[in-house]
Structure 1
Amino acid sequence: MKSTQIEYSALSRGYYKKILVENESVSVTNGRNEEAVQSKIDAAKWNKIVDEFSKINLDSLATLKAPTEKRFYDGAAIGNLKITTNGKTYETQGFDNGFPPKKIEKLVNLLVDFTKE
C-alpha cells in the first residue's frame, strides 16, 4: 500500500468533502475553498483500511452499481471512490453519498469516519 492513494469525494451544489488516504496519513477537505487538514492514521485503523482495500477487485470498481439514486434529484451528494496504485487509476461511477455499493461499503465508511473525528 506504499504507492497507493485512496480518495473519496462527495460533491453537490452546496456540499464538498474530499478525503485522501496515503502512506498512513489522511487529508480531509471540508469545503471548496477550505484548506486540507492532514493527520496521521493510527495503526489499528490503518490495518482495517489495508484489510478492506485488499478485498476490493480494482478492475470491477467502474462497474459497481449504486444501490440508491437520490443524487439524480439532488437528494444526496454524489459520492466517488478513486484508487491510484502502481501508476494506474481505478474509479467508481457516482453513487449517493452515504449509500456506497456493497462491495466498497466498509472501506468507504472507514474513510468517511475521518470527517467525524
Structure 2
Amino acid sequence: MKTITLIFLTLFLSKSCTNEAQNELTNTTIQYTASSRGFYQQVVIRNQKLTVSRDRNGTKSPEEINISDTDWAELVKAFGKINLDEIPKLKDPTQKRFYDGAAIANLKIKYQDKEYETTDFDHGHPPAEIEKLVNKIVALAKEKEE
C-alpha cells in the first residue's frame, strides 16, 4: 500500500510541477536576437506562438507560427531549468563575434513584469546554462525558414 501511495504521489507531484512550469512559460515573453553585418534574426515566443523577423529595419512583417505541443513541452522543460536571476551573470563560452566569426546574440526574458537579459554571446554558442532553450528556439526558427 505504501508503494502504491508513493508512486501516486510521485506522479501527481511531477505532473503539477510540469503544469506550473507550463503556466510560467505561458505568461512569459522570450526574445532571442542574433545579428551581424549581413544577418539578422529576432525570435519572440509568447503563448505557444513563435514570431520570426529577419528584417532589421522592420519593413517586412514577421512570420508567425504556432508551436506544436511536443516542441512546447521541450521549451517548458528547458525553461524550468533556468535560474532567471543568474541570466545577467552568464559567461559566454566563445568570443568569435569579436572578429566576425559569429553573429552577436542575446536572450531577453520578461517574466512577471521583470526583464532578464544575457550579456552578448556568439550565435550558435550560447552559455551552457541556457543552451537547451536557445538551441530549441533557433531550431524552431530554422524550421520556419525552410
Match of 1:107 in 2: 133
Map residues 7-46 of structure 1 onto 2, 5 A cutoff. Answer: 7-33=31-57, 34-46=60-72
Larger radius of gyration: 2
Quote the sequence identity (%): 48
Q: TM-score, normalised by structure 1?
A: 0.96
- How many residues get paired? 117
Specify every segment of 5 or more residues in structure 2 that has no aligned partner in the other structure, as ranges.
Answer: 1-24
After TM superposition, the structure 1 stretch with the greater mean CA deviation from structure 2, 50-59 or 24-33, is 24-33
Q: What RMSD in Å do the two structures reach over aligned CA positions?
A: 0.9
Higher RCO, 1 vs 2 (CA within 8 Å, ≥6 residues apart): 1
Structure whose residues are more often strand by fraction: 1
TM-score of the aligned structures, taking structure 2 as reference length: 0.77
d(CA) in 2 for partners of 1:109, 1:80: 12
Structure 1 spans left out of the alignment, 5+ residues: none
Shift of 1:77: 0.6
Residues 78 and 94 of structure 1 are in contact (CA less than 8 Å); yes or no, is this contact kept in structure 2? yes
